[in-house]
Structure 1
Amino acid sequence: MLIDGHGRKVDYLRVSVTERCNFRCQYCMPEKPFSWVPKENLLSYEDLFKFIKVAIDEGIKKVRITGGEPLLRENLDSFIKMIYDYKNDIDLALTTNAFLLPAAAQKLKDAGLKRINISLDTLRPDVAAKIAQKDVLKTVFKGIQAADDAGLKIKINCVPIKGINDQEIVEVLDFCKERGYTIRFIEFMENNHAKDGAKGITSDEMKEIVSRKYKNFEMIPRDTSSPAQYYKLEDGYQFGIIEPHKDDFCAACNRIRLTAEGNLIPCLYFEEAMSIKDAVRNNRIDEATAILKKVLADKPEKNKWSDKDDNETSTRAFYETGG
């Protein structure tokens, strides 16, 4: 069992396989050139897998593959199969923008993927093009359908941005409700890599917009392992809101992150990290295990986003860590 320095059980590993992305979303990396880290700087699937085996043996029960856009890395299904074949009851999940899913969804399911989180910020092609800086929505819809057809359990993530897609909250909620998908609205996380002037809306504002159509919905007691606060409509449908500007969910934080270059990150907000690259490349597995436990011992108690300080901004590049 993995326990951090504050007594929290850590059983969730998020693994970024690339920082590359085929979108340039305003809230993430709008100005970053379309480039990539040299392949020799990235850990191979085999080396990533060496660490994942350590993590699973030490108590990790859920592995989520992220990016950047993880489907840009070739043969991702083979990597997923490595993990599934090692421990077939591991909770294997993926976060994606769905653009490459039409051709990949069934292969991922066949490899052992169980669940998928898909970014869908709007139902309007012109708004999607404004957010992602390319015409994407038609293909994203095809990707969502492909995931559904493959039998993957689907969650939708939506980041409302003031003046751009914030008035579509009910429409996106209804889209998911009609199809049986879970929707989570995510407060925009201020970061140095976002478009200048991009502003999110608060969870209270999101709930007010939902209440214009759904007058009565109730808060559900929080699942301590989830960063989302869920709400239930009168017909039983549940939607979530993730509020990074609060730290109440930090008390039960159960996750740790590994980047494609081998940096082990204890908290999404902070820059602090330790590298396991040399250890796994040279098969020093005991050293990699020691680094894991050191990072956990130093894991911060909570993030630094705060309702009291509107100027608090993270320098974290979320495209390197998958959010």
Structure 2
Amino acid sequence: MLVDGHNRVVDYLRVSVTERCNFRCQYCMPEKPFSWVPKENLLSYEELFKFVQVAIDEGIKKVRITGGEPLLREGLEHFIKMIYDYKNDIDLALTSNAYLLPQAAQKLKSAGLKRINISLDSLKPDVAAKIAQKDVLSTVLKGIQTAHDVGLKIKINCVPMRGVNDTELVDILEFCKQRGYTVRFIEFMENQHAYSGAKGYTSEEIQAIIAQKYNFKKLERTGSSPSQDYILDDGYVFGIIEPHKDDFCATCNRVRLTASGVLIPCLYFEDAQSIKEAIKNNDIDKAVAILKEVLANKPEKNKWSADDTSSRAFYETGG
């Protein structure tokens, strides 16, 4: 069992396999050039798996593959199969923008993937193109449908942006409700890599928009999810992720590994350590020692507020 310095059990590992992305979303990396990260800067799938294997042995029960856009890294299904074959009851999930899912969904499902979180910020082609700086919507919708058809459990993530997609929040909720998907609205996380004019909505403002059409009530928090959930009168549950608050930190159970081998204890905490050298030298004991040191130093609460602008590159850590 992995326990951090505040006696929280850590059983959730998020693994970023690439910082590359085929979108340039306003709230993430709108001005980053399209570029290749040299392979020598990344851990191979085999090296990443060495650490995942150890992490599972130490008590990790859930692994989420993230990016960037993880499907841009060739052969992702083989990495997923490595994990599934090692422990087939692991909660194995993926975060994606869905653009490459039409071709990849069946391979991912066959490899052992169980769940997928998909970004869907607009149902209007022109708005989606404005956000991603690319004509993406028809392909993203096809990707969502393909993932559904092959039997992957789907959650939808939406970042409400002021003056961009804010008139669509109810439409996106209804799109998900009709199809049986959970939707989570995510407060915009101010960061140095986002478009300088990007402005988001608070949880209270998101609730007010939805309340114009639907009655709902707040649910008590359960488990370790960062989402505050709400239930409509008809029983449909939606969530809002409020990163400016820290009430979900008390049950935080996650640690993050970047594609270059950096272990990050908290998304809003700059301190991190690299396991790259230990893994490349096959020094598993050293990698475990680093993991435990990182967890010992994991902060009790995130060190971020609405007045801060994070320097964290979310495309490196997978959010």
TM range (shorter): over 0.9
The residue aligned with 1:107 is: 107
Task: Report the equivalent of 2:36.
Answer: 36
The C-alpha deviation readout for 1:3-31, integer Å capped at 9, x for no partner, is 00011110000000000000000000000
**1:218-238 Cα deviation digits (max 9, x unpaired):** 111112310001000011000
Question: Deviation string for 1:144-165 (max 9, x for gaps)?
Answer: 0010001000000000011101
- Partner of 1:203 in structure 2? 203
> Which of 312, 316, 319 is the equivalent residue of 2:312?
316
Distance in 1 between the 2:204 and 2:96 partners? 27
Q: Tell me, which stretches of 5 or more residues in structure 1 are unaligned? A: none
- The aligned amino acid for 1:135 is D
TM-score, L = length of structure 1: 0.98
SS state of the match for residue 248, structure 1? Answer: coil
Letter in 1 for 2:34: F
> Equivalences for 1:178-197 in 2 at 5 Å?
178-197=178-197
- What is the SS of the residue equivalent to 2:292? helix
Q: Percent identity?
A: 78
Letter paired with 1:27:
Y
Q: C-alpha displacement at 1:39, in angstroms?
A: 0.6
User: How far apart, in 1, do the equivalents of 2:167 and 2:112 lie?
Assistant: 37
**Does 172-181 or 223-232 show the bigger shift?**
223-232
- The answer to whether the 8 A contact 1:51-1:280 is kept is yes
1:84, 1:300 → 2: CA distance? 31
Local SS of the residue matching 1:109: helix
* 1:60 corresponds to 2:60: yes
Query: For residues 36 and 56 of structure 1, what CA distance do their matches in structure 2 show?
Result: 30
Provide the C-alpha distance between the structure 2 equivalents of 1:132 and 1:298, rounded to a whole number of angstroms.
36
Contact 1:270/1:314 (CA < 8 Å) preserved in 2? no
SS at match of 1:80: helix
Cα distance in 2, alignment partners of residues 74 and 261 from structure 1? 16
What is the CA distance between 1:167 and its match in structure 2?
1.6
SS at match of 1:177: helix
Measured in 2, the distance between the counterparts of 1:294 and 1:186 equals: 30
Query: In the TM superposition, what is the alpha-carbon distance from 1:272 to its structure 2 partner?
Result: 1.2
Distance (Å, rounded) in 1 between the aligned partners of 2:89 and 2:239? 26
What value does the CA root-mean-square deviation take over the aligned residues? Answer: 0.6
Say which SS state the counterpart of residue 231 (structure 1) adopts: strand
Moved over 4 A (4+): none
Secondary structure of 1:93's counterpart equals strand
Match of 1:280 in 2: 279
- Correspondence for 2:261: 262
Contact 1:19 1:320 in 2 (8 A): yes
Normalised by the length of structure 2, the TM-score is 0.99
SS at match of 2:248: helix
After TM superposition, give the deviation of residue 304 of structure 1 in Å. 2.0
